[in-house]
Amino acid sequence: MCLAVPMKVTQIVGPNCTAEMSGITARVRLDLVPDVRVGDYVIVHAGYAIQRLDEQEALETLSLLDELSAHAAEE
Amino acid sequence: MNCPPTPPRNSLCIVSQWNMTNPDPSDIYFDSFRDPDRVCRLAACIRRELAGPITLMEVCGTHTMSVHRFGLRDLLPTELKLLSGPGCPVCVTPNNYYEQVRLLAQNRDVVLCSFGDLLRVPGRDGSLEDLRVNGADVRVVYSPAQALEFALMDPLKKFVFLGIGFETTAPLTAAVIESAQNECCGNFFVLSGHKIMPPPMRALVESGEVAIDGFLCPGHVSVITGDAPYRFLAEEKGKPCVIAGFEPVDVLQGLLMLIRQRNERRSAVEIQYTRAVRPEGNPKARELMQRVFCESDDDWRGLGRIPLSGLRIREEYVAYNAAQLIPPVEIPPEDLSGCICHKILRGIALPNECALFGEICVPDRPRGACMASQEGTCSIYYRYGR
Ligand code: SF4
Ligand code: SF4
């Protein structure tokens, strides 16, 4: 039930924003995540953004993983 | 690192057959965490590094869904046992909550606003859907904000939002109650069945009924709470904990991190889902939640009454509390005959041990909450044929 999906913020109007994901557009409340800017990715649960996604962290997770799998491929 | 070569993409690696049709290939949040190559390599590492039987609990229903939906179970060694925990809010909401809903529905000026997941849960006297068939006004909403919009448009009726969910969802309900206050909306109410996650995790560990070697902690609960609520599990109870995301790569990496903690004889709370979970969580959401709710003892289906595990609306916000519209309900929290959800939710039985499973109890005619909820263990086992 607490499914939450990443969406990209495309427009901000007051406490609401418009966000989109794979061509789907939704109106999303920003009450819980201050300082969101257009272009940010947020994680959306039941019509509210609950956190801003951190691209740097995502890339780091992946590169750590790939380092690990590179070793996996070598051995 | 001790990883075997990547296995060839054979039938074992069914994930390589997913079709990847995301329109934006650069999108790291979708494709990268479903990448079949990464999934296969991680699974190989798990098979290689697992040094004996281990039982891990995925606390959250969405993790159970990912494991089955992406066929991850088939990639993992049989010595790795995965238990589903009490992580689906629909499943753990006890019958007395639904009894309150039924009483509210008798009030003809009440409109019930509910997440779709709740509609088919069988209560003692039928489900929400049955109430609707019998004339109650029940509306499915995707967001608490939508329930408030209904209330503002129709001031002559009382709109009751059925607030269930863990720390992920409770701040939203808190936010909408504050919005209702700001809008001076007098016909909007919440029936709070909100709960918090760490108390049942403690109860499970302390009951000693199941031996759990580590916890895959719920990613979206932790977006709000951060890592602090699980520290007692790692520090007092010696249980490895990893907060993981919900894509296949996330789940497998989370499991691998748990196995490594055990191999290294450590127990700590680690975060795999770093792109969304900060160690401190979301303080603004927590502050809002604490302003509107206070912790109180609460009933859980399967786990009974657990101290300070529920969220009750504070006195200051009593005007928005739907419980004031009905008399107090005192019925036993569990009384559905034959259903063994209460055992499944504690990890001591699997759905196929229930005599009703798949015969009398199916997703279209659920006899218990674990079949009615999309994320219920019985429903997942039924749909994915385990
Ligand atoms: S994210 Fe929350 S509501 Fe969703 S399954 Fe996990 S614990 Fe349950
Ligand atoms: S199969 Fe149905 S009746 Fe049996 S435990 Fe699951 S939900 Fe309950």
pLDDT of res. B149: 97
Name the one residue in this structure whose structure tokens are 């657990």.
Answer: B306
Mean pLDDT by 10 residues, chain A (75 residues): 85 93 91 93 95 91 79 55
- Residue in B84, B301, B339 to alter for ligand 2 test, most ligand atoms within 8 A of Cβ: B339
With a cut of 70, say whether residue B12 has pLDDT above it: no
Q: Does B96 touch chain A (CB under 8 A)?
A: no
B321, β-bridge pairs: B190
- The mean pLDDT of chain A is 87
Size of chain B in residues: 386
Total length of chain A: 75
Size of interface A-B (CB pairs under 8 A): 148
Q: Residue B26: its pLDDT value, please?
A: 43
Q: Does ligand 1 come within 6 angstroms of the Cβ of B62?
A: yes
Per the model's pLDDT, the better-predicted residue between B5 and B134 turns out to be: B134
Most confident stretch, B121-125, B306-310, B343-347, B361-365: B306-310
Q: Among the ranges A21-25, B9-13, B155-159, which has the highest mean pLDDT value?
A: B155-159
ipTM given for this complex: 0.91
CB B177 within 8 A of CB B192: no
**B30 CB near a chain A CB, below 8 Å?**
yes
Confidence at residue B219, expressed as pLDDT on a 0 to 100 scale? 93
A contacts of B45 (beta carbons < 8 Å) = 68-69, 72
In this complex, is the C-beta atom of A13 within 8 Å of any C-beta atom belonging to chain B? no
Task: Give, in degrees to the nearest 5, the angle at Cα B233 between B343 and B314.
Answer: 80
Q: Rounded to an integer, what distance in angstroms lies between the CA atom of residue A69 and that of residue B3?
A: 8
pLDDT range class, residue B267, cuts 50, 70, 90: very high
Is pLDDT at B260 greater than 90 in this prediction?
A: yes
Residue, of A73 and B244, whose pLDDT is higher: B244
Nearest CA to ligand 2 atom 3: B339
The rounded percent of chain B whose pLDDT value lies above 90 is 60
The pLDDT of residue B333: 57
Q: Check residues B369 and A8 and name the one with the higher pLDDT.
A: A8
pLDDT at B13: 35
- What pLDDT is recorded for position B334? 59
Q: Does residue B10 register a pLDDT over 70?
A: no
Question: Is the confidence at residue B90, as pLDDT, over 80?
Answer: yes
Of B56-70, B242-256, B283-297, the one with minimum mean pLDDT is: B56-70
Q: What is the mean pLDDT of residues B148-177?
A: 97
Higher pLDDT, A65 or B312: B312
Mean pLDDT to the nearest integer, B102-108:
92
On the question of pLDDT at B125 being above 50, the answer is yes
pLDDT at B336: 61
Residue B170 near residue B289, CB atoms below 8 Å = yes
Task: Give the domain range for residue A35.
Answer: 5-74
Q: What are phi and psi of B136, to 5 degrees?
A: -70, 150
Distance CA B313, CA B296 (A): 10
Does the beta carbon of B272 lie under 8 angstroms from any beta carbon of chain A? Answer: yes
Average pLDDT in the B234-260 region?
95
Q: What is the DSSP string of B198-240?
A: HHHHHHHHHH-SS---EEEEEHHHHHHH-SGGGHHHHHTS---
Mean pLDDT confidence for B4-30: 44
| Minimal CA separation from B342 to chain A, in Å | 19
Average pLDDT, chain B: 88
Total structural domains within chain A: 1
Of the candidates B2, B4, B253, which has its C-beta nearest A65's C-beta?
B253
User: How sure is the predictor about B122, in pLDDT bands with cuts at 50, 70 and 90?
Assistant: confident
Pick from B316, B307, B346, B378: nearest CA to B181: B316
Domain containing A36 — which CATH number? 2.30.30.140
Distance CA B285, CA A48 (A): 11
Ligand 2 binding site (Cβ under 6 Å of any ligand atom): B 339-341, 344, 351, 354, 356-357, 361, 367-368, 370-371, 378
